[in-house]
Homo-oligomer: A and B are copies of this chain.
């Protein structure tokens, strides 16, 4: 009786909370090892639940992975999302760069999940690449082209400009160990992030012909 009473204070976390914890653990696992290298047992251990519990919430490893991919994509390009063509290119691009880098710092696992999927050949995101992502890119490049037509910035390939920003920012998530080792830093803290953001913003804006400073050649 008493024991039952006591047990009844078990205060079991809500089913949703557990599903969330599993999803978060899965993100870390898939980020580090990729789909094929990920182990369900490790996901369970990270989440602190028995393995069969995962299969209650997610039908299979593949479904779990797809769920992770989905949440990852959702938070992908928050910024730069609705851009006013009348806005200042420099400000818009700066905001975009800083936001992407901030994401890379705050949630490197998301970036790595995506990187793994791409390296692997995007077996689960091929449609997405050719539909939603392409559409997203096209509206963005349209604005950039407009800016270039109005001589507001240097004429450059807009698609490749976006690629460069993606690559340069995600680098600090995906290759974090390398960057930290070579910069002789212990962790990717706020200071390193700020230094990096400042470098990227000023370098890329200069590349876009948007710098207030002039070159001294």
Report which A residues bind B (CB closer than 8 A): 31-39, 112, 115-116, 118-122, 126, 129-130, 133-134, 137, 151, 154, 156-157, 159-161, 163-164, 166-168, 170-171, 174-175, 177-179, 181-184, 195-196, 199-200, 202-204, 206-207, 209-212, 214-217
Contact = CB atoms under 8 A, between A and B. Distances in A.
Contacts of A168: 163-164, 167-168
B121 A199 contact: no
B199 A130 contact: no
Contact of A130 (B181, B202, B217): B181
B151 A216 contact: yes
A203 B168 CA distance: 13
Contacts of A212: 217
A106 to B, nearest CB: 17
Tally of this chain's copies: 2
A38 B207 CA distance: 40
A68 B193 CA distance: 33
A130 B38 CA distance: 28
Given A119-B116, A209-B206, A171 B163 contact: yes
Contacts of A164: 164, 168, 171, 200, 203
21 contacts: A115-B115, A115-B119, A118-B177, A119-B175, A129-B177, A133-B182, A134-B181, A134-B184, A154-B206, A156-B199, A156-B202, A157-B199, A159-B182, A160-B196, A160-B199, A160-B200, A163-B171, A163-B175, A167-B171, A211-B215, A214-B215
| Majority DSSP secondary structure for residues of A touching B | helix
Contacts of A206: 154, 206-207, 209
A119 B164 CA distance: 19
Nearest to A123: B177
A54 B83 CA distance: 55
A205 to B, nearest CB: 9
